[in-house]
Amino acid sequence: MSLTVLVNAGPWLPVPPKGYGGIENIVATLVPELRRLGVRVVLGTVDSSELPVDEKLAVFAEGQFGHLQRPYNQACGIVQSHLHAVVRRVRDGGDIDLVHDHVEAAGLATLAALGPDAPPVLHTLHWDLAKHPELYGGFDGGDRVRVNGVSASQLARAPKALRDHSVGHVHLATPLAVDAERRLADRGGAAAKGRHVVVLGRINPGKGQDLAARLAHRAGFDLVLAGPVGPYQQPAELAAAEHDPVAAANPDVRFWRERVAPYVDGERVRWIGTVAGRDRDDLVASARVSLFPLRWAEPGGTAVVESLALGTPVVGLAEGCLPELVVHGDTGLLTTDEETLADLVNWAGEIDPRRCAAEAARRFTPAVMAESYLTLYERVRKGPLLS
Ligand code: UDP
């Protein structure tokens, strides 16, 4: 018997997203695999989404990200219009077996109130919930809503009301993990590794680029920082905002200006802005180490699994999901001590890139993720917690 799942990606960005869009990227990775496994997918999204699905459900023509209101948990008009269409589709169609929701907490109450005859809802948590407890402040999933994390550590830090409704966790996946070993060999394997260490991620205090930059100077390794600073994707864009008071008030811009930029000399430490597609893959694949000097509990770590899939050992602080994703001594090196990170960068030369790629191919492919979700779907549909 085939399963029909309404995967709700929300009204903010198309699927796949054109640029930024972690949640929408995960949905774009998951849905084709679910369909390959025989699931019928109705996608709650915006009309400009190009991902092939069995049915597209859209209220808005384009992504509404530009109109995003904060805090996210306030169910604004955009979310409500989108969710009402989802609710109508579920009620009127009568064919949906489960709603797999990826929209932030806003509107969970709407889905929870679908009624006793409605299909259950699985809501995937995408945030560090200890840092953002307000997101699910009034959460009451009742009997209809279950949640899953993107790592065990994320769930462990979540508020009790969410943990009580949890059915487990599913690690994030990357299409780069498919055939990772062959692609590593095609690139020349370890021989193609350059001298640089890379930090891939938003420039943000939690991602720790300040620590990386300081260590690069102290220990003498070449460091490339890739990622946006707040809304500024490229150095030229940020430079153009030099006297802009809005930019000055942005916490990521402040972090950059005060804590990171003083170390960026264009030689030992470089910031290259956001890299995408093939450029991103080449940058990471040719790095000798992918560094995660995290100061926050990374909830899912897409960039971590991507690094492994590209055959690049991960060195980092053992925060959040990192110890779940990285096998210490085998695919990377982790520590709880900031000052030893630089030593680990040197020692990571002992890690075999093929081990990283093999581990990614075993654990972080879209197929593995989709199969895990199928298991959760069954758990949610049959779970003892549901009335
Ligand atoms: N990313 C990118 N180019 C950059 C920096 C980051 O494509 O210059 C991507 C990265 O490859 C990953 C995503 O942005 O897919 C970041 O996701 P992650 O879960 O690592 O961190 P988040 O930003 O969600 O905390």
Q: Quick check: CB of 201 below 6 Å from ligand 1?
A: yes
Pocket test for ligand 1, best of 280, 305, 314 (most atoms within 8 A of CB): 280
Higher-scoring residue by pLDDT: 129, 264: 264
CATH class of 175-363: alpha beta
What pLDDT is stored for residue 139 in this prediction?
75
DSSP one-letter string for 322-355: HHHHS-BTTTEEEES-GGGHHHHHHHGGGS-HHH
Written as one letter, the residue type at 7 is V
Q: Kindly report the backbone phi and psi dihedral angles of residue 289, in degrees, each rounded to the nearest multiple of 5, phi listed first.
A: -145, 145
Q: Quick check: CB of 17 below 6 Å from ligand 1?
A: no
User: pLDDT tens digits for 112-149?
Assistant: 777 778 899 999 999 887 777 777 777 776 778 899 99
Q: Is the ipTM of this complex over 0.90?
A: yes
Q: Distance between alpha carbon 264 and the CA centroid of its chain, in Å?
A: 27
Q: Which ligand 1 atom is nearest residue 274's CA?
A: 8
Q: By mean pLDDT, which of 45-54, 159-168, 350-359 is the weakest? A: 159-168
What pLDDT is stored for residue 387 in this prediction?
46
Report the SS3 class of residue 188: coil
Pull the structure tokens for residue 347.
């020692």
Which residue's CA is the nearest one to ligand 1's atom 18?
302
Higher-scoring residue by pLDDT: 39, 164: 39
What pLDDT is stored for residue 220 in this prediction?
96
Question: What percentage of the chain has pLDDT greater than the value 90?
Answer: 79
Q: With a cut of 70, say whether residue 69 has pLDDT above it.
A: no
Domain ranges in the chain?
4-172+366-382, 175-363
Q: What is the mean pLDDT of the chain?
A: 92
What pLDDT is stored for residue 247 in this prediction?
93
Q: Which CATH number fits domain 4-172+366-382: 3.90.45.10, 3.40.50.2000, 2.60.40.3470, 3.20.20.70?
A: 3.40.50.2000
Domain 175-363 in the same topology as domain 4-172+366-382: yes
